[in-house]
Amino acid sequence: MLGTIVNSAAILIGGTVGLLLRKGISERFKQTVMQGLGLSVFVIGVSGALKTENMLVVIFSIVFGGIMGEALEIEEKLEMLGRWMEKRVGKGEGLVAKGFVTTSLIYCVGAMAIVGALESGMTGNHETLYAKSLLDGVSSVIFASTLGLGVLLSSVSVFIYQGLITIAAGSLANLLTDAVVIEMSAVGGLLIIGISMNILEIKKVPVGNLLPAVFIPVFYPLVQPVAQYFLQIIEVFL
């Protein structure tokens, strides 16, 4: 858990610095910075998504992960949690929920979060999470300067999410082949593209409801033939 603890602490420290800088940044600069961040997040997502070696698995994961997420109403529950936090600490800013949900998703669905937590749990190697901590710490300064306190609260999401993956990694070691990790990272990259669209206000993408898709590639040996069958059915209708 050391890597996850360091990661959460980096977000807290960076977010605190961002809050201190917030009052000195005009609204015009904040808007420009957020748009720049949105474009950067988009590039990160594309680079991750293109790593896939089996697009069928990615499509299948997104479709059925989305169905699962909608049934569980994950996005709505995340927003409710954000609004609950906002009532207690938001001071009427109206941005706590947005900052919490946006940065929680950014910090949790990326390839480094998944791969780093798996490495941490299976081998005790925390280097990937240390590198992620540095990146998250720097970005949290910028996010907190524009989105406020919700960014600091996302450190809790990171701790729980990566912590659970780290703890479960040992028991899932036999399932987590290189092919599985690659497809998990690719699906995560696709979700990051969705986050960038939300930041840029191009289209509201319910990324929270797509979160289960990240874990469907774990069942890669089962998913691959089912995905091929699924594609054949689509081709028949087309």
Is the pLDDT reported for residue 90 higher than 70? no
Specify whether the CB–CB gap between 137 and 11 falls below 8 A: yes
109 confidence band (pLDDT: 50, 70, 90): confident
Single-letter code of the amino acid located at 171? S
Residue 5: predicted pLDDT: 93
10 confidence band (pLDDT: 50, 70, 90): very high
pLDDT 10s digits, 158-195:
999 889 888 887 777 677 777 888 888 888 888 888 88
Is the pLDDT reported for residue 92 higher than 70? no
pLDDT 10s digits, 72-88:
888 888 878 777 777 77
Specify whether the CB–CB gap between 167 and 121 falls below 8 A: yes
Task: Please tell me the distance from the alpha carbon of residue 186 to that of residue 117, in angstroms, as a whole number.
Answer: 16
Output 70-73 pairs: Cβ under 8 A, ≥24 positions apart.
70/206, 70/209, 72/209, 72/212, 73/209
Residue 173: predicted pLDDT: 67
Specify whether the CB–CB gap between 183 and 54 falls below 8 A: yes
Residue 68: predicted pLDDT: 92
Residue 13: predicted pLDDT: 93
Assign 3-class secondary structure to 139-189. Answer: HHHHHHHHHCCHHHHHHHHHHHHHHHHHHHHCCCCCCCCHHHHHHHHHHHH
Q: How far is CA 226 from the centre of its chain?
A: 26
11 confidence band (pLDDT: 50, 70, 90): very high
pLDDT 10s digits, 62-75:
988 999 999 988 88
Specify whether the CB–CB gap between 196 and 45 falls below 8 A: yes
Task: Please tell me the distance from the alpha carbon of residue 18 to that of residue 87, in angstroms, as a whole number.
Answer: 21
Specify whether the CB–CB gap between 4 and 158 falls below 8 A: yes
- Written as one string, the DSSP assignment of 213-228 is GGGGGGGHHHHHHHHH
- Domains of the chain by residue range: 1-237
Give CA angle at 108 (141, 185), nearest 5°.
Answer: 120
Range with the poorest average pLDDT among 91-100, 148-157, 176-185, 205-214: 91-100
Residue 36: predicted pLDDT: 84
How crowded is residue 51: how many other Cβ atoms within 10 Å of its Cβ?
Answer: 13
Share of the chain above pLDDT 70, in %: 88
pLDDT 10s digits, 30-66:
778 778 878 887 888 888 888 888 888 888 889 889 9
111 confidence band (pLDDT: 50, 70, 90): low
- What average pLDDT is seen over the chain? 81
Give the chain's radius of gyration (CA, Å).
Answer: 18
Tell me the pTM: 0.74
Residue 224: predicted pLDDT: 67
